[in-house]
Amino acid sequence: MRPVRIVLRSALPFLVALPLLFALQGVISPGWAIVLISAGINVILAVSLNVVNGFTGQFSIGHAGFAAVGAYTAAKITTAMHGLQIVGLSAGVSDQVVFLLALLAGMVTAALAGVLVGMPSLRLRGDYLAIVTLGFNEIIRVIIENTPFLGQATGISGLPRLTTVVWVGMGAVATISMARRLVGSTHGRALLAIREDEVAAEAMGVDTTGYKVRAFVIASAFAGLAGGLLVHLIQLCTPRSFTFVKSIEVVVMVVLGGMGSVTGSVVAALVLSFALEGLREVQQYRMVVYSLLLIVLMLTRPSGIFGTREIWDIVKLPGGRRKAAGAETSP
Amino acid sequence: MTEFLQHLVNGLSVGTIYALIALGYTMVYGVLKLINFAHGDVYMVGAFSGFYLANAMGVGGSPSLAKALVVFVGSMIICGILGVLIERFAYRPLRHRARLTSLITAIGVSFLLEYGFQLPSIPGLGIPFPPGPTPRFFPEPFTRVAWEPFGVYVSNYDVISFFTAVGLMLLLQYIVYRTRFGTSMRAVSFDSQVAGLMGINVNRVIAGTFALGSALAAAAALLFAGSRPKVDPLMGLTLGIKAFVAAVFGGIGNVPGAMVGGLALGLAEEYVSGYALSSYRDGIAFAFLIIVLLVRPAGLFGSFRPEKV
Amino acid sequence: MRLTRTLALMAAVVAVAACQDKKQEAPAPAAPQAAAPAAGGAPAGDKLVFGHVASMTGNEATFGDSTDKGIKLAVDEANKAGGVKGKQLTVKTLDDQGKPEEAAVAATRLVTQDGATVLLGEVASSRSLAMAPIADSNKVPMITPTSTNPRVTKDGDKTRPYVFRVCFIDPFQGTVMAKFARENLKINNVAVLRDVGNDYSVGLANFFAAKFKDLGGTIVADESYKAGDQDFKAQLTAIKNKKIQAIYVPGYYTDVALIARQARELGIKVPLMGGDGWDSVKLYEIAKGALDGSYFSNHYSSEDPSPVIQGFVKKYKETYGSVPDALAVLGYDAANVAIDAMKRAKDLTGPSIRDAIEQTKGYQAVSGVINLDQDHNAVKSAVVLAIKNNEAHFAATVNP
């Protein structure tokens, strides 16, 4: 493929999504918008965690910790830049540019945290790795609670409200296309090989540790993006938004959607977000119903909504889309 | 020195409780390779069973050792049954599926217990069930007697709790290593398929393991309630996580490991918050754990099984 | 198809839950549910909606539950008295599970979909901070019953136009106890034990410590715990040998009761001191005398013979069968301040109600006479309560 085509192909989803998102933003009511935005943030979290838990078969339950790193970085930048204007840009545009930079910076710091946590995964397996990620999540929280610079338990308030349907939509598109393109790439194949059989993968010459760390780093970066988007939605950045309970919620989305199924994560994130939102009316019964849903869903569809397949493997479009080659790696 | 000893007493009293709960995690993990996320909530149910039993028997009004014993054993039985039920309906149907599947049902069961207990009470039941979100008070089963040797405060509750916990652990050790059931349990843990072929009723062994682990959680809840007589629906959350950490620390799946892990975590927490910065307590506990895991990737007593290719 | 079966099951579960909820809600005493079947469908034409954001589930459900009961009682009374400007009031409570992001979503939904005229909530400052920008940008007045962090009504240096509170703020409450400790109790050395994950506790501890040092006292130890912990003996043992005369524990009653018991078990005999988070009958039930000789600052004293207070306590007991805690009282007050302002407002639009709330002066609430200052904080006196024989007794009034 020539470079131009590669660029075009990667840019295509964004070019298609952007006008659609702007149109959506124009017609949607604020009440629906905030529900949709929260759901979109969950989509980013679930799809990115799927890279570690689903593709690579590693078990991470500290995703909210990475989101916290990204969130605090972005929050610190936007509050520091608040009221400042980049020369040559109008106030509105300048804010958007700052926001983009803040989100990117959040992704970078979260990715660095991913390197830090990815390293122990060189040695640890399964539940031991899970504990390390959980521990990392808790350590992040403890550090925030003890750092006056980060506002301790109260957090950072008064953030500008920058997160919109368009921002979250673009973030989700970026995350999904990252995951889809990853799965089809050499890297993705290596990750799937590690999931299916780590020893065999190693024997076939896959640098298992290197790929595991890379998977961690990618997933963390996008978790950081989700964190940055979340705090600029609620205009408040506190450790309470990033407890291990949040991490568990994301794990639930990934497993429910089907490990390794990108569309599964998307659907599960949306279904669970909307279900919880719809259930808000029933007050105390809300979480009881939610837990029953989890149990019933897992009992009836034990490999998740889509298993390891994608939505187009199940629902055939009339156009007859070519089956994704990586779809049938495991039964 | 007094302070050091006091911390030792405190740490042991918490550590034994962690150990009892960690045993439940580790035994279930041993036979099923499943993190029973609902275990912390079984602990909570244990505390509430004790609460209801104690109130039904009027322990608060006229405390006696016999009543305390009935409450103790009664709660253990209730939780044992609960453990079996959870296994039967939430885990058994998924036993041959991917392990993460059962993990999600475990989380589901955990939420169900936590939030189910937070619901408003059913009217006309006679007892306040479900208890609702407001914390409840656990009556004292017998009068508190405190001693003060060398300036270290020790109460009869601490002593009873410590020795009961140690006794239960020895009993468990006996069951696991000296009885027929224990042998089948270890066989299932080693390879459940082959164990089944050897004529062991795998289902019954797994159910028994759940009953045993859950009963221990109930015992832990009641021993802990002696000095900390507050019961609420989310009480198992933090404690459950800590006990899980203790189990991993000792090497999950390993019975003595869970005991050592529990004690180590209890003491580590105690000395960290006593001598260092208490606001960093949870962070330091986890940092310590991570360092241990980096040195011994399968916990203190765990061992890597050679991987089959 | 398995998928269809799954979906059908899911639908069934939700349906069952919805039915259960209706059944449960019907006999609830103070729920004015005349329009229950049309929930959400009816426009806010003939009904005025109070949107209440509360943690009805999760760690702090007990606090959300209390506030909700207080608010519903106030609204019920107002409805019996003919409503506001001829209209009946309803309360729509949405759960936020104790999470700030959920509070933001709940507040937005209440304002934009349920047509809430006034927002009430949240108990904790971290959630109120997430709601405040939504109240401002939608021009819907919001009254928080108990969020005592100064930042809740502030956006940077500016006062948030639509956000009010009916409680005093942390700096005042911290000052009250510091002054009381120094001047009335003549205490020099204090240890602080705070809930490090709770903004309320951390804020109060900081303000107390600053004022206490200003007045010449010494903070000899500063320890932390986390809400949900069951064992506090490590911190207490560390504090014990520091020659303390009192321990300041600005936490929630759910933890304080256990802290008190364990302090006594370790032979710590000095008084404990705390804030309004202590106020609940459960405190004494669990502490069982361990808190005798301790003091805490509060919004009101239930011993106060004033008819407003006694009348409220009686009504609350009749309706819910329990003694109201501080959160129920402030929920009741917040709703009443809103109702009072709506009666005075020239019309029932957000800006008019906002103006009326801002002019609240000398309103006789259960928790004292409420005057709102230019920062939208309630300026009112605090009381210090002394615990004797496992009961709180009035000790002193401290004026702002």
| A115-158 residue pLDDT tens | 988 887 777 877 788 888 988 999 999 999 988 899 888 889 88
> Which residues 6+ apart lie within 8 Å of C19 measured at CB?
none
Closest CA to C57 of C106, C10, C9, C91: C106
Only one residue has tokens 């639009």, namely C349
Helices A262-278, A285-300: inter-axial angle, 10-degree rounding: 150
User: What was the pLDDT predicted at C39?
Assistant: 35
Q: Which chains are adjacent to chain B, needing at least 3 Cβ pairs under 8 Å?
A: A, C
Asked whether B137 and C284 are in contact (CB, 8 A), the reply is: no
C-alpha distances out from residue C91 to A176, C50, C71, C94, C166, Å: 41, 5, 8, 10, 18
Q: Is the pLDDT of residue C32 over 80?
A: no
Percent of chain C with pLDDT over 70: 89
Q: Is the pLDDT of residue A306 over 60?
A: yes
**DSSP per-residue letters across C11-44:** HHHHHHHHHHHHHHHTT-TT---TTGGGTTTS-T
Q: Dump pLDDT digits (tens) for A5-21.
A: 878 878 888 888 888 88
Closest CA to C223 of A142, B270, B278: B278
Which DSSP symbol is given to C87?
B
Closest CA to B83 of B54, B113, B53: B113
Query: Which of B13, B137, B224 shows the shortest C-beta gap to C286?
Result: B137
Query: What is the tally of structural domains in chain C?
Result: 2
Q: Rounded to an integer, what distance in angstroms lies between the CA atom of residue C94 and that of residue C129?
A: 17
Query: Which of C21, C151, C198 shows the shortest C-beta gap to A157?
Result: C151
Q: Is the pLDDT of residue C27 over 50?
A: no
Asked whether A111 and A222 are in contact (CB, 8 A), the reply is: no
Locate the DSSP E strands across chain C.
47-54, 88-95, 116-120, 142-144, 154-155, 158-159, 163-165, 189-195, 218-225, 246-248, 272-274, 295-298, 363-365, 368-372, 378-379, 382-388, 391-398
Q: A129 or B309, which is more confident? A: A129
Q: Rounded to an integer, what distance in angstroms lies between the CA atom of residue A28 and that of residue C188?
A: 60
Do B94 and A299 count as a contact with CB atoms less than 8 A apart?
Answer: yes
Tokens of C382: 């605090």
Q: Rounded to an integer, what distance in angstroms lies between the CA atom of residue A190 and that of residue C374?
A: 63
Q: Is the pLDDT of residue B301 over 90?
A: no
Q: Rounded to an integer, what distance in angstroms lies between the CA atom of residue A64 and that of residue C178?
A: 38
Average pLDDT over residues C364-385: 89
User: What was the pLDDT predicted at A326?
Assistant: 41
Q: Is the pLDDT of residue C76 over 50?
A: yes
Asked whether C165 and C378 are in contact (CB, 8 A), the reply is: yes
Q: Is the pLDDT of residue C13 over 70?
A: no
Q: Is the pLDDT of residue C193 over 60?
A: yes
Average pLDDT over residues C223-241: 89
Cα C198 from chain centre: 14
C-alpha distances out from residue A2 to A5, A8, A182, A183, Å: 5, 10, 19, 21
Worst-scoring range by mean pLDDT, A261-270, A304-313, B87-96, C381-390?
A304-313
**pLDDT tier at C391, thresholds 50, 70, 90:** confident
Q: Rounded to an integer, what distance in angstroms lies between the CA atom of residue B26 and that of residue B23?
A: 5
Closest CA to A152 of C205, C155, C239: C205
User: What was the pLDDT predicted at B64?
Assistant: 80
Q: C11 or A182, which is more confident? A: A182
C-alpha distances out from residue A113 to A72, A102, A227, C156, Å: 13, 16, 14, 31
Which DSSP symbol is given to B65?
H
Q: Dump pLDDT digits (tens) for C307-354.
A: 888 889 999 999 998 888 888 999 999 999 999 999 999 988 999 999
Q: Dump pLDDT digits (tens) for A20-66.
A: 888 888 888 888 899 999 999 999 999 999 999 989 888 888 999 99
Contacts of A296 in chain C (CB under 8 A): 6, 9-10, 13
The helix/strand/coil state of B276 is coil
Do A292 and C13 count as a contact with CB atoms less than 8 A apart?
Answer: yes
Same domain, C228 and C254: yes
Contacts of A157 in chain C (CB under 8 A): 129, 151
| Beta sheet of C47-54, edge-to-edge order | C88-95, C47-54, C116-120, C142-144, C163-165
Closest CA to C287 of C232, C205, C212, C350: C232
Q: Dump pLDDT digits (tens) for B180-226.
A: 999 999 999 888 889 999 999 999 999 999 999 999 999 999 998 87
Do B228 and C62 count as a contact with CB atoms less than 8 A apart?
Answer: no
3-state secondary structure B102-154: HHHHHHHHHHHHHHHCCCCCCCCCCCCCCCCCCCEECCCCCCCCEECHHHCCE
Average pLDDT over residues C67-94: 92
CATH number for C20: 3.40.50.2300
Q: Dump pLDDT digits (tens) for B107-122.
A: 899 999 999 998 888 8
Q: Is the pLDDT of residue C19 over 50?
A: no
> Which residues 6+ apart lie within 8 Å of A159 measured at CB?
A75, A78, A79, A231, A232, A235, A236, A237
The helix/strand/coil state of C146 is coil
Average pLDDT over residues B160-183: 92
Q: Dump pLDDT digits (tens) for A245-284.
A: 899 899 989 988 888 899 999 999 999 999 888 888 777 7
Same domain, C67 and C161: yes
Closest residue of B to C229, CA-based? Answer: B238
Average pLDDT over residues C9-22: 49
Same domain, C62 and C177: no
Average pLDDT over residues A102-127: 87
Q: Rounded to an integer, what distance in angstroms lies between the CA atom of residue B201 and that of residue A62?
A: 38
Same domain, C45 and C158: yes
Q: Is the pLDDT of residue B31 over 70?
A: yes
Same domain, C266 and C129: no
Percent of chain C with pLDDT over 90: 48
The answer for A151, left when phi > 0, alpha when psi is -120 to 50, beta otherwise, is left
Same domain, C144 and C214: no
Asked whether B34 and B102 are in contact (CB, 8 A), the reply is: yes
Tokens of B253: 């799946």
The residues on C that touch B, with CB distances below 8 Å, are 24, 27, 57-59, 61-62, 65, 196, 223-226, 228-231, 233-235, 237-238, 240-241, 254, 257-258, 261-262, 265-267, 282, 285-286, 288
Residues paired with residue C51 on neighbouring β-strands, in sequence order: C92, C119
Rounded to 5°, the CA angle B4-B5-B9 comes to 120
Q: Is the pLDDT of residue B174 over 90?
A: yes
The residue ranges of every structural domain in chain A are 2-243
What's the mean pLDDT when you consider all of chain A? 86
Q: Is the peptide bond before B139 cis (omega within 30 degrees of 0)?
A: no
Same domain, C135 and C179: no
CB atoms within 10 A of CB C311: 11
Same domain, C164 and C235: no
Q: Is the pLDDT of residue C368 over 90?
A: no
Kind plus residue range of the DSSP H or E element containing A157: strand A156-157
Q: Is the pLDDT of residue C186 over 60?
A: yes
User: What was the pLDDT predicted at C28?
Assistant: 38
Same domain, C159 and C41: yes
Do C237 and B274 count as a contact with CB atoms less than 8 A apart?
Answer: yes
Average pLDDT over residues C385-399: 88
Does any CB of chain A come closer than 8 Å to the CB of residue C101?
yes
**pLDDT tier at C29, thresholds 50, 70, 90:** very low
Average pLDDT over residues C200-229: 91
Do B98 and A131 count as a contact with CB atoms less than 8 A apart?
Answer: no
Q: Is the pLDDT of residue C22 over 70?
A: no
Same domain, C19 and C67: yes
Domain membership of residue C276 as a residue range:
170-298
Do C238 and B275 count as a contact with CB atoms less than 8 A apart?
Answer: yes
Q: Rounded to an integer, what distance in angstroms lies between the CA atom of residue B168 and that of residue B185?
A: 18
Q: Which chains are adjacent to chain C, needing at least 3 Cβ pairs under 8 Å?
A: A, B
User: What was the pLDDT predicted at A324?
Assistant: 42
Q: Rounded to an integer, what distance in angstroms lies between the CA atom of residue B38 and that of residue B117?
A: 14
Give the helix ranges, DSSP H, for chain A. Answer: 3-27, 30-50, 63-81, 91-118, 126-145, 165-184, 186-196, 198-203, 208-234, 244-257, 262-278, 285-300, 311-314
- The residue of A116, A124, A142, A265 whose CB has the most chain B CBs within 10 angstroms, and thus the best one to mutate to test that interface, is A142
Same domain, C164 and C176: no
**pLDDT tier at C23, thresholds 50, 70, 90:** very low
Same domain, C348 and C317: yes
Worst-scoring range by mean pLDDT, A308-312, A316-320, C165-169, C248-252?
A316-320
Burial pattern A203-215, b for ≥16 Cβ within 10 A else e, equals eeebebeebbbbb
Asked whether C267 and C313 are in contact (CB, 8 A), the reply is: no
C-alpha distances out from residue C135 to A85, B110, C153, Å: 27, 35, 11
Q: A120 or C216, which is more confident? A: C216
Q: Rounded to an integer, what distance in angstroms lies between the CA atom of residue C341 and that of residue C354?
A: 8
Tokens of C180: 């009381």
Average pLDDT over residues B45-61: 89
Q: Is the pLDDT of residue C268 over 70?
A: yes
Count Cα neighbours of A112 within 13 Å in the Cβ-side half-sphere: 8
Locate the DSSP E strands across B210-253.
230-231
Q: Is the peptide bond before C122 cis (omega within 30 degrees of 0)?
A: yes
**pLDDT tier at C35, thresholds 50, 70, 90:** very low
**pLDDT tier at A331, thresholds 50, 70, 90:** very low
Type of residue numbered C388: K
